[in-house]
Structure 1
Amino acid sequence: MARKRTAAVGDIEIRLLRIFHTVVECGGFTAAEVELNIGRAAISMHMADLEKRLGLRLCQRGRAGFSLTEEGRQVHDACLRLFSALENFRGEVDTLHARLRGTLDIGIIDNLVTIPRMQVTDALSALKDIGPDVRVNIRMIPPNDIELGVLDGRLHVGVTPALRNLPGLDYRPLYDEESLLYCGAGHPLFARADGDIPDEAIAQADAVAPTYAQTLEARALHRPLRATATATDREGVAFLILTGRYIGYLPTHYAELWVNQGRMRALRADDYRYRTEFRIVTRSNARPNLILKTYLDLLQRQ
């Protein structure tokens, strides 16, 4: 058969390709008659039309039975990719037409708003552009409560430190947070250079210990400190450090305001530091939710 450049694929070609696909799936013209609800002669005519349009011999048919040529197999593989792309396109267009309505319930731990990497904020802004009618509810609660809220459906999504993996939840990385050891203005260590601050001076200083959940690395660095005060959240840690009487760990983005004001400083930042990974938490096998899917897609793009 003479070769020629394939014409543009339009509605007619797609219809013929779907007939071809059905014939291949059924294993021949005769079996495809019932599936297509047309006669064998009509199927043969459509196949001949498709071969003419493509300039390719797609199959052998006759007394020996039905079989694909090598080119027919390749065209059929291309058909499957084409049909998949068309379905994806249709789904994306349907999503654009579907107006986002409803609520998005988010659980976040305290004091993340000052982190420079604003994926959560930027994704919420983009969600407002796409779905102006979406109602967003944010709850500032501890990590354990966030995970339980996602599990029982009270929350659609959460942002938590990487402390553990619970069955029934999916976790995906969001960003890392760095924490350093700080003291406040007026503390005996505040005016001393890092080289003049031995480990013993840090170990003997009054320190604030957090009572909220921490990573293994964070717990290991808190253990040598002389904890004479506790705090249930990071704002409480900051209050005590700012008294000038305690040392304690804070995220760098959260302490930055007071550092710039000269009210806090980091102690031996190269030695006393740790990183905490934060993750997006969703429920495994949750019911489809277009608002949540859109928000997660926007987070991924950020």
Structure 2
Amino acid sequence: MNKRTITERDLRFLHTFCAAAEAGGFAAAEGRLHMTKATISRQIKEVEENLGVTLCSRGPQGFELTEAGKTALKYAKEALDALDRIVPQLDAMRGVISGKLRIGITDNLLGNPSAKISQALTRLKKEAPEVEFSLYTLTTHELVESLRTRRLDIIIKGIHPGQEIKSFNYTKLFGEKHFICYSPQDNCEVSEMSLVFREKHPFVEDAIANYGFKVGPVVSGMESVATLISTGLFAGILPEQYSAMLSSVFPLEQIPDTPEYNVNHFAVTNADYPLTPASEAFVKLLIEEHQGVE
């Protein structure tokens, strides 16, 4: 029986396989890899032939990992990650910070004067020019899953009490105020407004339970909340800086005698894996830039 070995060529093609698996198919991975579907398929097929297993099924029902593919994905990601760490770790030994840094954030943070993410990125570029960072704006669920599966190194997001995940580390950075808003227009009465509903949102649940609001249309994302508020027919909960920006577009006010909600934003990392030198440097800069910020 021939002993199967992993070649340098296999490692390159395993990277292709991991990207296709994370993207959910060949077509979705084309842009990420800058390859055609035919090239992606050919590379994965070659790895399958060398390993002697089928890694994924392709057909009318779409892309799906086999059990062997799930196992290969787990260990391939660990191996590729270890290889990616070699040069940055050696660079760190001689005082140079290098490597890739993948950062994820939630939407609409730029207008918050307490958020100093831009300042931290500016310092990172100046103080560690060898670091190649990328920045992604994702939903809360996407951020958590990307950090859990190591597609991101650091995420910055608001965390409500009780939402902490045991396998994550949290570093508090800044706070954010939220208000129950409406758009005063001729065709509406505040007392008759229902509240735009976002599932599993603590502020929305509190407003409905304790302030007499009825459940309004179900939405996802702040842009959808703001759009419904702009009709003058619904109330909704928005961050202070986002509502201030929108007030120049349409009339927008806080509903009198309603609470002010606060949520803290954290830099979050995966505690199951050691931080890279680039991640450590960026967390340190975030802490320094947010000192004294509430």
TM, length-normalised to structure 1: 0.58
Gaps of 5+ in 1: 1-93, 191-200
Q: Secondary structure at the match of 2:155?
A: strand
Q: Which has the larger radius of gyration?
A: 1
Aligned-residue offset at 1:296: 0.5
Look up the match of 1:109. 106
One-letter code aligned to 1:236? S
Output one character per residue of 1:128-176: Cα deviation in whole Å (capped at 9) or x when no partner: 1112232222222222332222222111011122231212111121211
Is the Cα–Cα contact under 8 Å of residues 187 and 246 in structure 1 kept in the other structure? no
One-letter code aligned to 2:143? I
Look up the match of 1:151. 148
Indicate how the Cα distance of structure 1 residues 205 and 136 shifts in structure 2: closer, same or farther if over 3 A, else same.
Answer: same
Is the Cα–Cα contact under 8 Å of residues 180 and 258 in structure 2 kept in the other structure? no
Look up the match of 2:183. 184
One-letter code aligned to 2:207? L
Provide the rounded CA distance (Å) in 2 between the counterparts of 1:189 and 1:274. Answer: 25
Look up the match of 1:301. 288
What percentage of aligned pairs have identical amino acids? 20
One-letter code aligned to 1:294? A
Output one character per residue of 1:89-120: Cα deviation in whole Å (capped at 9) or x when no partner: xxxxx959533332211121222221111322
User: How many correspondences in the alignment?
Assistant: 195
Look up the match of 2:217. 229
Provide the rounded CA distance (Å) in 1 between the counterparts of 2:280 and 2:134. Answer: 16
Provide the rounded CA distance (Å) in 2 between the counterparts of 1:158 and 1:118. Answer: 14
Indicate how the Cα distance of structure 1 residues 276 and 187 shifts in structure 2: closer, same or farther if over 3 A, else same.
Answer: farther
One-letter code aligned to 1:178? K
One-letter code aligned to 1:245? L
One-letter code aligned to 1:169? F
Look up the match of 1:14. none
Q: Which of 233, 242, 255 does residue 267 from structure 1 map onto?
A: 255
Look up the match of 2:164. 165
Look up the match of 1:142. 139
Look up the match of 1:219. 205
Gaps of 5+ in 2: 1-90, 290-294
Provide the rounded CA distance (Å) in 1 between the counterparts of 2:193 and 2:177. Answer: 22
TM, length-normalised to structure 2: 0.60
Is the Cα–Cα contact under 8 Å of residues 168 and 269 in structure 2 kept in the other structure? yes
